[in-house]
Structure 1
Amino acid sequence: MSQDKKIPRPLTKESLRHKALRYIDRFATSRENLRNVLMRHVQTSNYYHETSIQDGVDWIEDLLNKLEAASFINDARYAEGRAGALHRKGTSQRVIRMKLMEKGLSEDHIAQALTALKEETQSENLERDAALALAKRRKLGPYRLPEKREAYKEKDLAAMARAGFSYDLARDIIEAESVEDLER
């Protein structure tokens, strides 16, 4: 006895608006990302109920314009917030740029967000600060137990490389004698 997949209701302009408001209530988002989320609902409704794709596109554009005018979505604010959160988590600038581009943000918004991040942190080296945050969070290099450091050195370097940091920066952090040396 298998359960049949539940078929969604046909999409209307009002139900699309409700879905958009529910989404932005739960998640910070960019205009392009919200467009993609809503477009998936339109495509699903088209599949099951032959809802017009063009009507859906028109509804989405109208809705996005209204949400942007009401400041429910703001790409510049979203880019700054997301860049700051990723930086504090230990993400390299290269990866921050890539993740913001995936959300459909313009190069101008990304550049403004990275500039704002530099001003906000008042740091000489954002990349080093992010690498230190990652090492501390993942307990890499000097944050690891001393007896296990040498055995995990290559794995720690690989973790830093996957996070988008240069080999030289990763090596400087992983091979540091102590946490105090890093913080100087």
Structure 2
Amino acid sequence: MAFGGGCSDRGRPERRAPRKITAYDLQRAAMHYLERYAAPAAQLRRVLARKVALSCRHHEQDPAIFEPMLDEVVARCVSSGLVDDQRFAQARAATLKRKGRSSRAVEASLSAKGVPRELAREASAGSEEDELAAARKAARRKRLGPWSRGDRAASRQKDLAALARAGFNMTIARAVIDGAGDEAMQD
């Protein structure tokens, strides 16, 4: 007796065929996505466009005919306040800075999510003290400089390079790596 019931020949369950996309389905998909994730308008549009492309590929339709529908759904979400690029950028930037990301890395991350470049630059901007605190967090997390277990002098260049790759300028990186142990360990 075969117990295949709905499984492909590789043992994975078969996927259901995607439904034909309607405006109602797109709106529901947008609401469902926004219930789970905060997202800028560009990201929401990309998610919905993937859903449209999947359906169109299966039903042999042209995805271009759904562009106005996509624009309308995203515009409705923006006008209702469910999607706010500035609020998203500020919240995401604050989270990334708390994790020890540099301003450059924060700006790049926001841009990759679809936040307009000027808004990303504005949200990621911070003082030199903020950047120094973020570099210390990054160094502590990666066990660099005063937080390393090995020979600090031997690994100095590698530690500086690691902070530079993380987006910190060399002045900040040197201050953290060469910083006095007492000051750095207070954080």
Task: Report the TM range for the smaller structure's normalisation.
Answer: 0.7 to 0.9
**How far apart are residue 163 of structure 1 and its match?**
0.5
Choose between structure 1 and 2: higher helix proportion. Answer: 1
Are 2:24 and 1:14 equivalent residues in the alignment?
yes
In 2, Cα distance between equivalents of 1:178 and 1:22: 49
Tell me what 1:170 maps to. Answer: 173
**How far apart are residue 38 of structure 1 and its match?**
0.8
User: Larger Rg: 1 or 2?
Assistant: 2
Tell me what 1:58 maps to. Answer: 68
Match of 1:126 among 126, 130, 136: 130
| CA offset digits 1:33-84 (Å, max 9, x no partner) | 1111111111111111124413321221111111111110000100111111
Gaps of 5+ in 1: none
From the superposition, tell whether residues 179 and 59 of structure 1 become closer, same or farther in structure 2 (CA, over 3 Å). farther
Tell me what 1:72 maps to. Answer: 82
Task: Provide the alpha-carbon RMSD of the alignment.
Answer: 2.4
- The equivalences for 1:1-184 within 5 A come to 1-2=9-10, 3=12, 5-6=14-15, 7-114=17-124, 118=126, 123-145=127-149, 147-180=150-183
Query: Is the contact between residue 143 and residue 179 of structure 1 (CA under 8 Å) also seen in structure 2?
Result: no
Q: TM-score, normalised by structure 1?
A: 0.83
In 2, Cα distance between equivalents of 1:35 and 1:161: 34
**How far apart are residue 181 of structure 1 and its match?**
5.0
Query: Is the contact between residue 24 and residue 72 of structure 1 (CA under 8 Å) also seen in structure 2?
Result: yes
What fraction of aligned residue pairs are identical, expressed as a percent? 33
Count of residues in correspondence between the two structures: 177
| CA offset digits 1:94-129 (Å, max 9, x no partner) | 1111111112222332243235xx4xxxx5533212
Query: Is the contact between residue 156 and residue 174 of structure 1 (CA under 8 Å) also seen in structure 2?
Result: yes
- Structure 1 moving runs of 4+ over 3 Å: 147-155, 181-184
Gaps of 5+ in 2: 1-8
SS of residue paired to 1:73: coil
Deviates more, 1:149-158 or 1:172-181: 149-158
In 1, Cα distance between equivalents of 2:157 and 2:14: 47
**How far apart are residue 148 of structure 1 and its match?**
4.5
